Amino acid sequence: MMGDAVPQKKNWRLTREALDKFLLRLDADREIAGAKYETIRSKIISFFEWRGFPFAEDHADETINRVIRKIDQGEEIRDPATYVYGVARMMTLEIAKQRERQSAALENVSSPQQEDETDSQKRADCLSRCLKKIPAESREMITEYYAEEKGEKIEQRKRLAEHLGIPLNALRIRALRVREKLGECLDGCMKTAR
């Protein structure tokens, strides 16, 4: 799991059908729905960035996924675009509480610098092992997906989607699925490394 990312509930996974339900609620025309999705996502990323949260894109994806999950599970949401902002506001509270817990835990550690370096090395070793366990095409895709910084990252992801011959939304979904698998592997590896 990355930095301040808020954990997803384990019993639900984003599916193509769930995403299609969400897009249909945005607009019956798939092209218009896709454009609305991109606009919503962009605004939610800015929402988290303006509030100083790192991993704004991850938080935006999690926010939208939560709304998609609600719709997929049958909840009637008349205006998903507005509902997403409410979920984002609630997530800021969750993330802030998580940061407080992490800060408190760090204060209780006797030699934080030494343990941080050890944990960082363990995490890097585990990530390397986990990357080797996934298919080469997934490993290459996720590496390229996170290769660049800030503005160049957007262009890199557009090029990657074009190279793979898929829409940007589909690339994000693929990256999310690979990241979830890596996160599970990383969590398991870190538990056994302690």
Together in a domain, 115 and 179: yes
Question: What tokens does 115 get?
Answer: 């343990």
The answer on pLDDT for 177 being more than 50 is yes
Q: Quick one: which of 123, 119, 166 has its CA closest to 141? A: 166
How confident is residue 180, by pLDDT bands cut at 50, 70 and 90? confident
Together in a domain, 82 and 58: yes
Together in a domain, 60 and 23: yes
How confident is residue 163, by pLDDT bands cut at 50, 70 and 90? confident
Together in a domain, 21 and 55: yes
Q: Which amino acid is at 177?
A: R
Together in a domain, 37 and 132: no
Together in a domain, 149 and 92: no
Together in a domain, 191 and 95: no
Together in a domain, 99 and 126: no
Together in a domain, 116 and 92: no
| Residue 60 near residue 44, CB atoms below 8 Å | yes
Q: What residue numbers bound the domain in which 62 lies?
A: 1-108
Question: What tokens does 39 get?
Answer: 């606009």
> pLDDT tens digits, residue range 63-99?
999 999 999 999 998 888 899 999 999 998 888 888 7
Q: Write down the pLDDT at residue 29.
A: 93
Q: Pick from 108, 132, 162: which residue ends a domain?
A: 108
Q: Write down the pLDDT at residue 150.
A: 65
Q: How many structural domains is the chain composed of?
A: 2
Together in a domain, 117 and 98: no
CATH (domain of 175):
1.10.10
Greater pLDDT, 168 or 22: 22
At 147, which helix (H) or strand (E)? none
Together in a domain, 98 and 119: no
Over residues 148-177, the mean pLDDT reads: 81
The answer on pLDDT for 13 being more than 70 is yes
